[in-house]
Amino acid sequence: MNDHDHNHTGLRRRGFLTAASGLGALALAGCGGSRGDSGGASGGGTPRRGGRLRAAFAGGGAGETLDPHRASLFADVARAKALYDKLADYGDDLSARPRLASSWEARPGLDRWKVSLRRAEFHDGRPVTARDVLYSYRRIADPAGAFRAKASLEPVDLDASRAVDARTVEFVLKRPTAEFPNVLASFGAYIVPEGARDLDRAPVGSGPFRLVSFAPGRTAVLRRNDDYWDGAPYLDELEFLVADEESARVNALLGGQVEYAHELNPATARAHEGRGRIEIVRLRNSAMQAFAMKTDRAPFDDPRVRRAFFLIADRQELVDGALSGAGVVGNDLFGKGCEFYADDLPQRTQDLDRARSLLEEAGASDLRVTLDTSSVAAGFTEAAGIFRDQAAGAGVTVEVRTGGKDSYWADVLDSGTLCCYRSGAMPIESHISQRLLTDSTTNATKWAHKDFDALYRQAQATKDDEERAALFGRMQRRLYAEGGFLVWGFADWIIGTAPSVRGVDRKAPANTLDWVRFDKVWLA
Amino acid sequence: MSGLGSWVARRLLLGCVQTVAVVLLVFGLTEALPGDAAVALAGDQPDPARIAALREAMELDRPAHERFADWAAGLPRGDLGHSLASGRPVSSYLSGAFGPSLLLAALTVVPLVPLGVGLGVLAARFEDRWVDRLVSAVTLGVYAVPEFALGVLLVTVFALRLDWLPPTAVGYGTDLLGHPAALVLPVLVLLARPVCSLSRLVRAGMIDALASPYVAQARRYGIPDARVRYAHALPNAVAPAAQQLARTVDWLLCGVIVVEALFVIPGLGTVLMDAVAERDVPVVQGLAVVFGVVTVVLNLGADLVAHRFAPRTEVAA
């Protein structure tokens, strides 16, 4: 007789519990749609005050933290956003918008920025001051803390930066940085009160909600902050609940146990879209999906091979197969819909004959490559399988190698030649500085070109927006022609809500201001 | 009696050795895996400088044997160490999750014994008649359905279609007893397979016992049929079932991951899944200790029960 312990293998058999990987899930999402007709709430009407909204997220278990500087999961970010503010945050096109900062102004050299703070109060009644800002940033930059946002604050010389008066900070930068407001909006750069240490237990922020209770891995209950500077939220109470399994989030939503479920599968969305029982919100252009080619080693050190690979990909087939159709095709550039995105370049399509001749020219007719993949992100293994079949059409033998989830990103950073890749919402400038400069810390395509670095520095030293846009355009044309990222698509980010929930933004990609933002949400 | 005493002592000692071996094995295997908690936490931002800083903050840069020795030194004081991911004590992880797991296990075991034994006895009583065929067919069929599929089916029918029961326990946290309706479906899913395996074991044991020479002898003495059945045959049939039951309780306590995930019940299985994903070695080790101890104690109990019911069944020490 089999004993029951064997049932655990059922997990693997059914590919269950993908959400529990959590940690890797974070910086997902590409960039977003245009502003314009944004803010389209689910249904209209006059906002009504009151009520309690329960929102289900995949969580990080008992290890979850309320420390906003340690936020790494979507659930962490959603809580941090409800409790705290940043100086700036990303709009739908990933350009920085003022939040706690009311305005910013650069000195002519672009290496000194004066940031004025708006009148805002922490939950304990103390005003938000320049000293709080400097304390927060210094805490993040402290090497002992190993905070995620430390890398984003790297351009700031925090020792030289100072508080001019209670509501003015002068930031001194290590070099000219025209896109400095992006730093103020960067992931995890929340403002905490000066001297705050025990942020995990007694969080005091300036955000739209105050903490009532928190049980890591289970629930966080928050109450409306009536004195919020951006207008008090409509909801009386907001409760974050953790449900790691997607089917549990959907069932809880269908059963009326929650009113908001974050991160649903395309299949779920299709099954319930337009049926009236729940509302499906698709945040378009959210997660950039790509294959990363290492440009410093064979065979991808030859630009002709990279171009051939661009032409091998049938992007629509990848979107339909790996993303179940929940997404749009990519054009080998990061940041569709973002500020500075080069949307004037022609859409690339599959051309196997041309790919074959490029490979022949490069002397790589019988090419064999290994494609690294892992179940670390939705659609990765499917995308690898589809691309293997597409490559066979051009005479390229792709061998798919499936690696572990926990160390996938660290593994593919330096080893291998070709891997599945995805990325979260960030400004195109951040994508370049983190991944495409000679000294970038996560340069997965090993794209290192002095002239490209120089173009980036020139852009950061250019005050005029149009001139800067032209420089970003030049960089993107170069990447389009011979870069290491084969960006084949942008996945939707799918959210489900109860029909009574209004005011959920339908345009904001993950990681932007209006995504998982609950202070403008109300219950009809 | 002294024989039994020394046997229990030997079993307990062996159990301690086994638990230590499990913990060592878990530690060794986790260390052998590529990557560590720092790499897992860095996720898709594998900046080498940050990974190094994380490693230093988590003290992962110290040699493995030192870290293990430190952790082991805390054990006699009941200190299971601190989580790498959150810095909170491992004991708080376990105490928080133990309640829901224990509750589920208890609620499952209470109806499990009468149901499993009853069905087994019933089937054996009517061996090869239609009752037996029906019970055997149903138990075999239900046994073949994986928990996940059964859970989804029950949720769809009873929670989403008929709206009789809540689909998950989300939001109830550890206060599950305050929401008994939310426990019905998880307990049903947990019961399904153990009831089947237990009843089949009891049925087979009963039939074996009823065909044995001593039962034939008892019948020749003219002992009433019911007494033969329930006083002589049943105890022999229960002995192997007791061991199966111990395994089931063990399985229930050690986190029924599928059921916990499907119904959002924050038990030990969820803690284990999260800790493994985060490579949170101290938490995994703490769980290994708890699971090891529970397994040893339960099996010892089961062997004692088997010993009591059927002293002839030798139990390996």
Report pLDDT digits (tens) over A263-294.
Answer: 999 989 999 988 889 999 999 888 999 999 99
From the candidates B29, B45, B278, which should be mutated to test the interface with A, based on the most A CB atoms within 10 A?
B45
What count of other Cβ atoms lies within 10 Å of the Cβ of residue A50? Answer: 11
**A114 pLDDT band (50/70/90 cuts)?**
very high
CATH of the domain at B296: 1.10.3720.10
B179 part of a folded domain = yes
Looking at residue B106, what is its pLDDT?
87
What is the model's pLDDT at position A15? 31
pLDDT at B188 over 50: yes
Q: Residue B282 carries which side chain, given as an amino acid letter?
A: P
Smallest Cβ–Cβ distance between B49 and the set A217, A258, A441 belongs to A441
Nearest CA to CA, how far is A442 from chain B (Å)?
6
Q: How many residues appear in chain B?
A: 317
Query: Which of A429-433, B34-38, B81-85 ranks highest by mean pLDDT?
Result: A429-433
pLDDT on residue B14: 86
Domains and CATH numbers, chain A: 285-492 (3.10.105.10)
For the segment A127-154, the average pLDDT, to the nearest whole number, is 91
- Band of pLDDT at residue B8, cut at 50, 70 and 90: confident
Per DSSP, A281 falls in state: E
Question: In this structure, are B303 and B162 located in the same domain?
Answer: yes
Residue B221 has pLDDT above 70, yes or no: yes
Flag whether pLDDT at A257 surpasses 70: yes
Whether residues B130 and B43 fall in one domain: no
pLDDT digits (tens, 9 = 90+) for A399-450: 999 988 888 998 999 999 999 999 988 999 999 999 999 999 899 999 999 9
Give the pLDDT mean for B246-268.
Answer: 81
Residues B173, B268: one domain? yes
Pair (B250, B106) in one structural domain: yes
Give me the pLDDT at residue A44, please: 65
* pLDDT of amino acid A153: 92
Overall average pLDDT of the A195-218 stretch: 90
Domain range for residue B239? 94-309
- Domain membership of residue B78 (yes or no) is no
Contact A409 B155 (CB under 8 A): no
Q: Looking at chain A from residue 394 to 433, which residues have their Cβ under 8 Å from any Cβ of chain B?
A: 404-407, 409-411, 413, 422-424
Whether residue B215 is predicted with pLDDT greater than 50 in this model: the reply is yes
Q: Are A219 and B173 in contact (CB < 8 Å)?
A: yes
pLDDT of A150 over the 70 cut: yes
For residue B197, the chain A residues in CB contact (below 8 A) are: 1-4
Average pLDDT score over residue span A299-309? 95
The pLDDT > 90 percentage for chain B reads: 4
- CA dist., res. A128 & res. A225, Å (int): 15
The answer to whether residue A436 neighbours chain B at the CB level (below 8 Å) is no
Task: Report how far residue B85's alpha carbon sits from residue A79's, in angstroms, rounded to the nearest whole number.
Answer: 18
Do A186 and A152 meet the contact criterion of CB atoms below 8 Å apart?
yes
| pLDDT: which is higher, B317 or A370 | A370
Are both B287 and B197 inside the same structural domain? yes
pLDDT at A496: 95
- Chain B residues whose CB is inside 8 A of the A241 CB are 170-171, 264
ipTM: 0.82
Please count the residue pairs, one from chain A and one from chain B, whose beta carbons lie less than 8 angstroms apart: 208
Q: Are residues B201 and B259 in the same domain?
A: yes
Q: How many domains does chain B have?
A: 2
Residue A397: closest CA among A410, A411, A407, A387: A387
Q: Do B197 and A2 touch (CB under 8 A)?
A: yes
The reported pLDDT for the residue numbered A43 is 52
Mark which of B27, B43, B73 sits at the end of a domain.
Answer: B73
Average pLDDT, stretch A64-82?
90
Nearby residues of A497 by Cβ (< 8 Å), 6 or more positions away: A42, A253, A259, A260, A261, A278, A279, A281, A504
Q: How far is A72 from chain B (nearest CA, A)?
A: 8
The pLDDT value recorded for residue A376 is: 87
Average pLDDT, chain B: 83
Question: Do B142 and B289 belong together in one domain?
Answer: yes
| Residue B262 counted as domain residue | yes
- Cβ contact A63–B166 (<8 Å): no
> Token pair of A201, please?
């237990």
Chain A residues lying within 8 Å of B259, measured CB to CB: none
Give me the residue from B83, B93, B263 closest to A248, CB to CB. Answer: B263
**pLDDT confidence of residue B248:** 82
Domain assignment present for B112 = yes
B253: closest CA of chain A, how far (Å): 11
Average of per-residue pLDDT across B230-255: 77
Do residues B141 and B14 both lie within one domain?
no
Residue A39 scores a pLDDT above 70 = no
Calculate mean pLDDT across residues A460-478: 95
Q: Does B2 touch chain A (CB under 8 A)?
A: no
Together in a domain, B207 and B265: yes
Set of chain A residues whose Cβ sits within 8 Å of the Cβ of B174: 218
B193, B262, B279 ranked by CB distance to A406: nearest? B279
Q: Which of residues 7-26 of A touch B (CB under 8 A)?
A: 7-8, 10-11, 14, 16-17, 20-26
Residue B79 lies in a domain: no
Examine residue B167 and state whether it is found in any structural domain, yes or no: yes
Residues of B in contact with A3 (CB under 8 A): 197, 244, 247-248, 251
Same domain, B19 and B129: no
Q: Do B264 and A242 touch (CB under 8 A)?
A: yes
- Start-to-end C-alpha separation, chain B: 16
pLDDT at B23 over 90: no
Q: B101 and B58 share a domain? A: no
Per-residue pLDDT for A501 more than 70? Answer: yes
Q: Which residue type occupies A215? A: A
